[in-house]
Structure 1
């Protein structure tokens, strides 16, 4: 069962003003458009599912007789389907019964495909709180500063930006769309008319929202996937496939529909279109609950929640950690369908209208920055949003409310400065505002609304703050010759604690104003035990130090936090996405036992230590493009067949895992892997990279080296850790009849600086041997005296008081450096006491007085 929820579709009216069209398509578009006609015939056989749909309160039904498979092979075996269509890189197969479809589904899986069942979804054709208006203006425009931004762009020449609307089509011949719509003739609904004319109304409402929120350089294209209350995964999939083949693709695509599940192939198409430069925006849905809604929850879609007139989340809006940003959820849009004789302004509610507001803001960003990628547009929108109050903990509704004017960079007043930053203050304060520009009015509000010349107070003297207050301010030049400044926003909390912490010791928010946060052993009288979900999400800080009492770092705790350094010595558990997209340069967790799936996804981190983690979970370091050193001294299992732990880790140079027993290698980088010789290895070649496995060549165990030499390609090589320390030879100590063996070590900073334990020592064999390590030595001796000079370390072994009868005995000696369980060795030095003495006596450069004691020693041995 799949579920799609789309807010408040309605029937409406028609004006007969025809818009121009100039869309250019690749020839292959006809293949996809024809497929929509063929699929429409399949949809006619869905009567039983439609009947079930009408009686199902979940409003979604899986079509058990239709399967979707990604393939471009017209001759693919569809296992007794009654009909099949191949278009857009997919095969749509219809079956006579659900049993035959189920059997085919299993056969597709056996053949290596990833089949999905199609689904039909009932969209809600009713809406509430609707009012017919005589004008477009509502509070939503002011909440996002849309009007001022439109006025700024009104007389400026800007590059054309196209917003695509995947919905129920567009009534393109009404006044609001004059000179704004580019015709597509794309109908992928059950009607397959070859015309994107909206017969249901929702697409027109969404598209008119875009038209009213953007300047004239922004054009709109409609891609019709529904003509009534039904949307199918297959129709959305065809629309995306069709867009992929267009010569001039939309720059932004809005998707105001949502569901708890969706065909995974849709995400594949979205990802491919994102790589082509398209920005996707999706609505979070209208169940008023915490739930992942698709397509909004996909990584490459900007997910939008809804807010009300007081800038608080709407009670109908879905929410969750996947939500990126919010926008007004009540909006005056056009109500019009092909059967109406005139459009009306109508007041609607739903995230269906929040999403196109954000899509419009994305189009504004692309008007100035045509080369921006999806991530750059998303970052711009989020960084310029008006944030939610930290104390309100509304981070599951995104970083803040989208603000159009804050995205504008050029020809504007300077930003506001204040003598106090956001934070907690023990007593009332006087906040002074200033601007580097002269001849400006500073206009501010304290009620959370956006200030303008028509709304707010003109700043004339410092603002006396005696209670919790939000100040939003901007500078307006008196001559109106430039655009007003970006909005300054600060929250002042008078009295109370810097921390929001519950009775269970969960730290939920930090309200203080320090950029270097040191969490005390007691916060508000309570011992912190965990960092709560979203606690530092979106925060702009320098460093964070947690007390050792904090054992748990919850899901999303540091998501998109810009701090650079973290100290968390007590943390044992790290939740999903805890550090995702964060700015930390290093995260050192020496006692961490569990790091959940995607915990560092997309983080800027360069160095990570997971001291006690024994297995790497799915996608832990996915898209960590700056990760250079990963230190995991306790890891045993590093398999990742489903989703590579190191996907897109293009900079990884060092992976320290001396205890790992199994590893799947497909790291897209040249990397040194510090492992053990018993490692079981499998791999997927991902490019022309060099993988160097560094391990002790233990006596009698050459498994890893032998495997690499026998099975792996030229890009794999083995390096014996037995050649890392240097030998300085051996010397006689005549004073105590001893031998001194000298060694030298060049520090491996990328490992030793992260290690809990670095031990210098020696292994000794009382025989002449070429096989010597920690496992077969007669004696193991820790180095007692170490001399360090910069990165160089000298350490010596002295064997004292060798009796005359043993002075011909050969001692085999090898130095080691043990870094958290991995042994690095020097070459073996083999010497007898008499050999060294004889060498000195026979050395012509040594004077007789120096040789005298050694001659006596040799005579003593011979006697």
Structure 2
């Protein structure tokens, strides 16, 4: 269980005269508990010498401490011969004499239903920085009232930070607190005067009851936040390390402590990363997110595509790094989980407890990108006190300056964070272009306009943000002779209001196709201008076989149609395509990647031949109807937060048990779940739902949500087994939440009629469609089952005759169909015929009640029925009396 833990640093520019601000963050009793726990952990950490030597000798970034276990439990939980342990906020940290004892205890904890994890030690990445020579021009520089040093301070312009800070200079916003989980803060430096809220807590293992920074990294992160935010944004330090080592247990303890605080931070910045992490950390992050806290984390500095934690956790905003030209930094990690980017080089203050006069340095790393985004999130939280963490994240992404579709694979997020786009203010109208982004054959001319008249439209074509000091004042149409990006904004000529939001458009001149395709036939990107996209079967002689990962991610397309040659939808292919409101039907798609349609606006997805759909494939989407025809397993979070989902049809799924977590979480609209072959099911559906299931189903009812589940199985032989299972696994009270039906009464009988002219019987039936089910089926067959004699056992397996209905009559959602038996021999007219109708939907039989009639029996009823016309009754009577011949 090796852990690679890369911690990256950050820098900022902020000089002044400051003093610490104090605030009571926890009760005295909580502080006593915390002090004891940190002392206990400090004693445990003293025994980590061998692991630290291993860390150094193997030149690795992380090792697992295999003689220390962390569990979530009650305080009295047995620790199985531990040498020491300590307990705080629902977690116990347990030390063992050796790895063997720890391994034995680990198994016992698992057997007891707990979730043990080993602690870990990781190293901090080396930090590259350059000390900035202080000059009178640089000292005290804090706003655009002075010229920024272009070599060191370009990040302010790249994100439009100065313009935003100037706007807030004379405005008072509500207090927003950014918590920095790091190496603490040197809170005595002038740069942070009136910006720090003291925590008086040390989770690092030194047990000093003080968050003073002894390493410097946390101070760099904190000053980055301060330099990028107005004065109403305060900073709290949560100290988890003192050097280049960091412990999972320290991070978990800090997060658990924050959960108990009376006044919690609004934003939490975590400028560290690792390829694995204690799973309890994610649990607490999720809990704090539910409490309204926004988490931001750096992606890491390994320069590779890798999933790192905590950045990759669902409820954490993951930040990568960009350079002066808004291109991804070569040192920055990348991955599909990355949400946004920010400058990876920044000026900040490096200071420790020994340096009240800090160094002003220019450093590189995603640790500096993360606090820039944390500061941006704080501005949103300041203006929108009711925003949820999800809304703040969406605002950051929506306001970013997007990467060009052709130049970026979207593994660095949507684009570069932009501060001015986040400000909620009456401002100039947006700039518009006469032609949209897209592919054009030959030169084109773009005209820019704004609904305001007394403005200057300022634009750039080099990828940088336009400003009065950087860019061109638009005066005439722009002739485009080569592929060009235009970024523009409207500035009022009187300079009395904030400029408009930034407009961005990419024009691709003389491209061969609006699709970027690789040699394997995967569509890598869409460059076209149309919001209605039709993917061809072939481009440039290459047959298209799939939509690659991230291809349409973040785009505003509204409709898409795919050829049957496209069989694969890659990871994140349509992620966050909010405007995609189409019904996507495809016989070609066989594989759907993770998060492929997550958080998109797709209305329905019917993939008849889909064999595999990965985790979170539709998570958070607006989808209402889904059919995945050939998949055999439903995976983690596949439909989590699909609040509009009504019908799910997976006719070949065999496994939907509890190892697939959160599959139907928050699916409050789900009404029909068609899993006719499922042998296992985990009942956590927050809706009254009809479950079409196997006769041999077993399910876990331990997570009963209080909703009513109606199980529908094939005839009574399936229902009896399910009822027996319910009685064994649930209390008598909870059985009221379950209802059972077999498929024997879904079609309706309309009785039998005599046919005098040909000595026949007509059996009438009707069928009312099951909402959402028949529309998703491959085939629907209407028919009849016939047995001679009076029988109560009649289904597709034992019928003497199975007769497909020749004619059906449809009226809205009701279908009528009739069985006509003619020329019944005289010697069989007293014989009872047992008949029932069936409707076969994708191999699943739904039946009517059994109708039992004989020719003479029906004839006698007609004769005795005074409501029947006299002439009819007489003709039937004559037929019976004469014995009728054919």
Q: Does 1:417 align with 2:432?
A: yes
What is the Cα deviation at residue 72 of structure 1? 3.5
3-state SS in 2 of match to 1:753: helix
**2:612 is the alignment partner of 1:610:** no
Once the two structures are superposed, residues 527-559 of structure 1 have per-residue CA deviations (whole angstroms, 9 ceiling, x without a partner) of 101111111111211111111001111222222
Measured at CA, do residues 803 and 153 of structure 1 come closer, stay the same or move farther in structure 2, by a change above 3 Å? same
**Equivalent residue for 2:515, pick from 480, 499, 504:** 499
* Separation (CA, whole Å) in 2 of partners of 1:709 and 1:824: 26
What is the alpha-carbon distance in structure 2 between the residues aligned to residue 9 and residue 535 of structure 1?
A: 32
Identify unmatched segments of 5+ residues in structure 1.
none
Deviates more, 1:657-666 or 1:540-549: 657-666
* Conserved? CA contact 2:16–2:193, under 8 Å: no
Check if 1:795 corresponds to 2:811: no
Question: How far does residue 157 in structure 1 lie from its aligned partner after superposition?
Answer: 2.0
The residue correspondences of 1:163-312 to structure 2 (distance < 5 A) are: 163-312=178-327
In structure 2, distance between residues paired with 1:564 and 1:272: 32
Whole-Å separation in 1 of the counterparts to 2:70 and 2:520: 48
Query: What is the aligned partner in structure 1 of residue 756 from structure 2?
Result: 734
- Residues 123 and 838 of structure 1, relative CA distance in 2, 3 Å threshold: same
Shift of 1:91: 0.9
TM-score when scaled to structure 2? 0.94
Q: Distance in 1 between matches of 2:83 and 2:724?
A: 53
1:101 aligns with 2:118: no
The 1-side partners of 2:405 and 2:727 are apart by 57
**Could you say what the CA RMSD is over the residues aligned between the two structures, in angstroms?**
2.1
Is the 1:636–1:660 Cα contact (8 Å) retained in structure 2? Answer: yes
User: Higher mean Cα deviation, 46-55 or 366-375?
Assistant: 46-55
Q: State the partner residue of 1:85.
A: 86
CA drift at 1:280 = 0.4
Q: Structure 2 residue aligned with 1:840, among 852, 862, 866?
A: 862
Per-residue deviation at 1:17?
4.6
215-224 or 225-234: which moved more? 225-234
Q: Write the distance in 1 (CA, Å) between the matches of 2:276 and 2:446.
A: 49
Partner residue in 2 for 1:49: 51
- 1:564 partnered with 2:566: no
- In structure 1, C-alpha distance between the alignment counterparts of 2:686 and 2:378, rounded to whole Å: 34
Choose 717-726 or 642-651, whichever is displaced more.
Answer: 642-651
Q: Distance in 1 between matches of 2:12 and 2:426?
A: 43
Q: Is the 8 A contact 1:698 1:773 kept in 2?
A: no
1:155 is matched with: 170
Q: Which residue of 1 aligns with 2:39?
A: 37
Mapped to 2, the partners of 1:266 and 1:7 lie a distance apart of: 19
Partner residue in 2 for 1:63: 65
Q: Are the equivalent residues in 2 in contact too, given 1:133–1:347 (CA < 8 A)?
A: no
Deviation sequence 1:77-103 (CA, Å, 0-9, x none) = 211111111112111111222222222
Superposed CA offset, 1:196-221 (max 9, x none)? 11111111110000001000110011
2:747 counterpart of 1:720: no
3-state SS, counterpart of residue 332 of structure 1: strand
- Residue pairs, 1:321-336, within 5 angstroms: 321-336=336-351
CA contact (8 A) 2:658 2:700 kept: no
Determine the C-alpha separation between the residues in 1 that align with 2:462 and 2:417: 18
Aligned pairs (5 A) from 1:382-461: 382-461=397-476
| Distance (Å, rounded) in 2 between the aligned partners of 1:16 and 1:154 | 17
Displacement after TM superposition at 1:583 (Å): 2.0
Q: Cα distance, 1:10 vs. partner?
A: 10
What does residue 144 of structure 2 align with? none
Q: Per the alignment, do residues 735 and 155 of structure 1 end up closer, same or farther by CA in structure 2, a change over 3 Å counting?
A: same
| TM-score, length of structure 1 as denominator length | 0.97
Provide the secondary structure at the position in 2 that maps to 1:736.
coil
Paired with 2:694 and 2:103, the residues of 1 have a C-alpha distance of 46
Conservation of the 8 A alpha-carbon contact between 1:14 and 1:342: no
**Equivalent residue, structure 1, for 2:612:** 594
> Which string of whole-angstrom CA distances, capped at 9 and with x for unpartnered residues, describes residues 35-73 of structure 1?
112211221222222222222322222222221111231
Distance 2:466 2:203 in 1: 44
SS at match of 1:392: coil
Q: Whole-Å Cα distance in 2 between the matches of residues 482 and 530 of structure 1? A: 48
Residue in 2 aligned with 1:346?
Answer: 361
The 1-side partners of 2:499 and 2:71 are apart by 53
- Give yes or no for contact 2:7–2:124 (8 Å, CA) kept in 1: yes
CA distance in 2: counterparts of 1:729 and 1:8, whole angstroms: 81
Q: Secondary structure at the match of 2:673?
A: strand
CA distance in 2, matches of 1:721, 1:709: 22
Give 1:440 shift. 0.9
Residue aligning to 2:673:
655
Q: Cα distance 1:482–1:274, how it changes in 2: closer, same or farther (>3 A)?
A: same
Question: Which one of 742, 745, 765 corresponds to residue 787 of structure 2?
Answer: 765
1:227 & 1:294 partners in 2: Cα distance? 20
Matched with 2:663 is 645
Helix, strand or coil: the match of 2:715?
coil
Answer yes or no: is 1:542 the counterpart of 2:558: yes
**Any conservation in 1 of the 2:10–2:366 contact (CA below 8 Å)?**
no
Alpha-carbon distance in 1 for matches of 2:274, 2:190: 33
Query: CA, structure 1 residues 77+504, in 2 after alignment: closer, same or farther (shift >3 Å)?
Result: same
Pick from 780, 805, 813: which aligns with 1:783?
805
Q: Return the offset for 1:761.
A: 1.0
State the Cα deviation string for residues 693-744 of structure 1 (Å, max 9, x = none): 1123156984234434665422111012222222111111112111011111
Alpha-carbon deviations, 1:598-629, whole Å to 9, x = none? 22233232211101112222332233232221
Pick which of 163-172 and 1-10 moved more: 1-10
2:679 is the alignment partner of 1:664? no
Q: Is the 8 A contact 2:33 2:88 kept in 1?
A: yes
Give 3-state SS (helix, strand or coil) of 1:393's partner: coil
1:537 to 1:756, Cα distance in 2 relative to 1, 3 A: same
1:238-291 C-alpha deviation (Å, 9 max, x unpaired): 111111111100000000011111111111111111111100000001000111
2:831 is equivalent to residue 809 of structure 1: yes
